[in-house]
Structure 1
Amino acid sequence: MKKAAFFDVDGTLIDCTIGIMDISDRVKKAIKDFQKAGNVAFVSSGRPYAFLNKELLEFGFDGFVLGNGAQVLINDETKFFSGIDKELVKEVVSNCERLNIDYCLQGPKYSYLKEDFTRILEYYKEYGVTRDFLEFNFDLDDVDVFKIEMFPADEEGCKYCESLDQGEFNCFKNYPGEVYEMYPIKNSKGTGLLKTIELEGVELKDSYAFGDGRNDIEMIQTAAHGIAMGNAVPELKEVANEFTDAIADDGIATYLEKIL
């Protein structure tokens, strides 16, 4: 039976914080061998399309689950999208501008921010984000948004971001970074995984998920084989049912070579 594997990006496929900017050759071969065996491989990331580097886009993945499950791309076609209400986006943007908070509105292909948001642009640059799919001139009525990232300048801004972590939304600081991520609770990498295997005709028992961070928890809990990287945060290791080596030791390859 066809299997489906889902790979987180930061801390799992690459790790900009320790200088791993591309997938290792061993991991590339393991994923390709997995696909050659008749299986499918997906990136599953909190990142939007605009934040995917050239290596990820051109590797040959069967698709992408982006924005923590808000968008499912299969063969470059959006098969599922779940966004944030436009009026709420306008409200958050208004408050961010009032409180001197840099923000980025993330959508299905482009992400939207202001040219003078130097703090957040410098932060993204450290993570290899190019300007290819960033838009600086936009009308809020014309953009679809599934996640908002905010970079507050002071304690007041941080308190506002933290106040958004309630009701229908998650909003938390993406450690080890300094950016708050706001997205609907109804969207998660777990719901994205379920939508993807439904579209691909893969049974849940044949699903594999690899992750290391807090936003991977739902995906790891949903997959039949939820695999925590050796460098995973404690909260993720608590819910994983399988484990592999750290990213620096090619943990994905260690696991895939075993099951192949």
Structure 2
Amino acid sequence: MSKIAFFDIDGTLYGFDGKEHKIPESTQLALKKFRENGNLAFICTGRPMRFIYQIFGENMFDGYISANGTHIVYKGECIFNKTIDINTLKELIKSFDELGIRSSFAGPYNGYSYKMKSEEIEHYNSQFNETDYLITIWKIEDVSANTIDIFYKDKIQLDECKSYFQNGLIFNPHGPHMSADVSFKDFDKSDGIKYVVKALNIPIEDTIAFGDGHNDITMLKTVNTGIAMGNAVEELKNIASYVTENIFDDGLYKAMVAYEFIDK
């Protein structure tokens, strides 16, 4: 029976090697071999579709679960799209104001900045080619967003935010950048995976996932074989079926070989 694998992006498929952001060659080879063996490969990320297509193109994967499970594309067609409703947006904005948090409400191809600093907007937009990703002037009724990024001044403020939203949101910090992507506890990457396997009629026994962050925990718990990168957070390593090497130590390729998903 063919397998289906779900891959996080940052720190799993794509990362900074000290000189540049890149996809390791061994990772590209592993994906190619995996698909040539008749298996399906899906990205499963907090990133928006525009970023995904820019980095990976449209032919490296069979499908894409973006925005932490809320936007799904298969064979070039959007098959699922869960946006944040206007009442939730209003509640989030009110709470962010109380906490002093700046944010971006992220859609597949454009985002909406809220009280972000000019340098934050510039850095955010620098990740995208051609036109700016962020819309800076908008009306709340025009927002079409699936997920959120937040910006904070220090770890204390992030911890306050985590405590405030402990029953509703999961925060995945981006290292020293004082930002984090946010997923909803009632719908995250794992729900996106469940939607895909049901739509494609694939048994959960034939599912695999690779990740490294806090927002990958439910993803690895959902699949049959959950693989944590060597550079993963400890919470993810603790629940993984297998912990492989770091992203730039051919971790993804080595795990594929270890499970005989591909030949060495």
| TM-score normalized by the length of structure 2 | 0.84
- SS across alignment from 1:73: strand
Alpha-carbon distance change, 251 to 142 in structure 1, aligned in 2, over 3 angstroms: same
The answer to whether the Cα contact below 8 Å between 2:172 and 2:213 also exists between their aligned partners in 1 is no
Which runs of structure 2 are paired with 1:4-43 in the superposition (5 Å)? Answer: 4-16=4-16, 18-19=18-19, 21-43=21-43
1:42 Cα deviation from its structure 2 partner: 0.8
Q: Which residue of structure 2 lines up, in the alignment, with residue 106 of structure 1?
A: 106
1:185 Cα deviation from its structure 2 partner: 0.6
Instruction: Say whether residues 1:228 and 2:228 are aligned partners.
Output: yes
Q: Which residue of structure 2 lines up, in the alignment, with residue 251 of structure 1?
A: 251
Q: Percent identity?
A: 32
The answer to whether the Cα contact below 8 Å between 1:114 and 1:137 also exists between their aligned partners in 2 is no
1:180-222 CA distances to partner (integer Å, 9 max, x unpaired)?
4333211222111111112222211111111111111111111
Alpha-carbon distance change, 198 to 125 in structure 1, aligned in 2, over 3 angstroms: same
1:159 Cα deviation from its structure 2 partner: 6.8
Alpha-carbon distance change, 238 to 90 in structure 1, aligned in 2, over 3 angstroms: same
Letter paired with 2:231? N
Letter paired with 1:10? D
Alpha-carbon distance change, 221 to 162 in structure 1, aligned in 2, over 3 angstroms: closer
1:219-256 CA distances to partner (integer Å, 9 max, x unpaired)?
11111110111111111110001222210111111222
Letter paired with 1:250? D
Alpha-carbon distance change, 22 to 92 in structure 1, aligned in 2, over 3 angstroms: same
1:156-184 CA distances to partner (integer Å, 9 max, x unpaired)?
96576345423333346443431143332
The answer to whether the Cα contact below 8 Å between 1:161 and 1:180 also exists between their aligned partners in 2 is no
Alpha-carbon distance change, 153 to 117 in structure 1, aligned in 2, over 3 angstroms: same
| TM-score normalized by the length of structure 1 | 0.86
Which runs of structure 2 are paired with 1:138-149 in the superposition (5 Å)? Answer: 138-149=138-149
Question: In structure 1, what is the Cα distance between the partners aligned to 2:158 and 2:233?
Answer: 23
- SS across alignment from 1:2: coil
Gap regions ≥5 residues in structure 1: none
Q: Which residue of structure 2 lines up, in the alignment, with residue 182 of structure 1?
A: 182
Which runs of structure 2 are paired with 1:1-260 in the superposition (5 Å)? Answer: 1-16=1-16, 18-19=18-19, 21-52=21-52, 54-94=54-94, 96=96, 101-113=101-113, 117-124=117-124, 128-130=127-129, 131-153=131-153, 158=158, 161-162=161-162, 164-171=164-171, 173-257=173-257, 258-260=260-262
The answer to whether the Cα contact below 8 Å between 1:49 and 1:110 also exists between their aligned partners in 2 is no
| Number of residue pairs aligned between Structure 1 and Structure 2 | 259
- SS across alignment from 2:231: coil
- SS across alignment from 1:187: coil
The answer to whether the Cα contact below 8 Å between 2:113 and 2:121 also exists between their aligned partners in 1 is no
Mean Cα displacement is larger for which, 213-222 or 168-177? Answer: 168-177
Letter paired with 1:111? G
The answer to whether the Cα contact below 8 Å between 1:107 and 1:145 also exists between their aligned partners in 2 is yes
Question: In structure 1, what is the Cα distance between the partners aligned to 2:172 and 2:32?
Answer: 34
The answer to whether the Cα contact below 8 Å between 1:170 and 1:183 also exists between their aligned partners in 2 is yes
Gap regions ≥5 residues in structure 2: none
The answer to whether the Cα contact below 8 Å between 1:48 and 1:111 also exists between their aligned partners in 2 is no
Alpha-carbon distance change, 211 to 147 in structure 1, aligned in 2, over 3 angstroms: same
